[in-house]
Amino acid sequence: MYALYANDAVEFQKRIVPEAGSAAMIGRQTFTQEQLEKLRKDINGLALRQTSPPSLDGIPVPSSSEPFPTGAKTIYLTQFRGVVMAVPVQRSESGWKVDVRFWLAMRMQLEARPQMTDPEVVAKGFLFHVLAKKPEALNEFSAQSINGEDYTSANNLPPGDLDQILSLCVEMPIVRARPGERVVLPSGEVAVGSDAPGSSNDESLVLIGLMGSTEVPFLMRRVGGAWKVVPQKYFEMLRKDGSI
């Protein structure tokens, strides 16, 4: 966090999982020593709340396993300068690193004009209609014909909570899984990121959304030339995780 807000590109790169385009997160402004000292003090005072226990391939790793294995993940939640931030971290061979790809995806959402056929938009559409309890709309996004009620019947969100949760869904950044990255779907099935996600020859694609501080995995299939979601019980997953 200090390297990011101090615009220190070298230190920033040392502390993140390597990610194409991450240099764009570093601004050009330079700061006085006094400003940097104040920033350091503010950062040192940050409250970090771990929102999920460390896990590997979706399976919790007991604290007795420290040092945690390479690939283990967890997420912290903090607030800085009035902005609530989820900080995903992943264990590498040289220690814990911040996974900035979700932050990059949020920047791209603000700058790009997504198409309704984009797999990320389709994935978000399926989840949105589950949370909005609109079962009749789910087949528009599903890779197979389903009874939408099976995916929305557990949804008992009151209107006040629903508005906030739907906003989180709309704002959710979604990234494509890295090659070989394993995620566990709500069904318990393990999906693995491909070497060339999204290429014209691929018939499947693994996406990961970050809704609040919870990772939401999606398995996409190409159906009739269009990306669709392999349907999952997302409401039950989010409720179990305490996200809704």
What confidence tens digit (pLDDT) does each residue in 210-234 have? 999 999 999 999 999 999 999 999 9
pLDDT single digits (tens) 62-113: 887 788 999 999 999 999 999 999 999 999 999 999 999 999 999 999 888 8
User: Could you give the number of structural domains in the chain?
Assistant: 2
CA distance 50 to 12: 21
Specify the long-range contacts of residues 23-30, CB closer than 8 Å, at least 24 apart. Answer: 24/104, 24/107, 25/100, 25/103, 25/104, 25/107
Q: Which two tokens stand for residue 136?
A: 């009749």
The per-residue b/e assignment along 8-40, b for 16 or more CB within 10 angstroms, e otherwise, is beeebeebbbebeebeebbeeeeeeeeeeeeee
Full-prediction pTM beyond 0.85? yes
User: What's residue 64's pLDDT?
Assistant: 79
The verdict on 45 and 80 lying in the same domain is: yes
Strands 214-223 and 226-229: antiparallel
Domain that includes residue 57, residue range? 2-99
The verdict on 136 and 92 lying in the same domain is: no
Q: Which of 99, 121, 155 is the last residue of a domain?
A: 99
The verdict on 76 and 157 lying in the same domain is: no
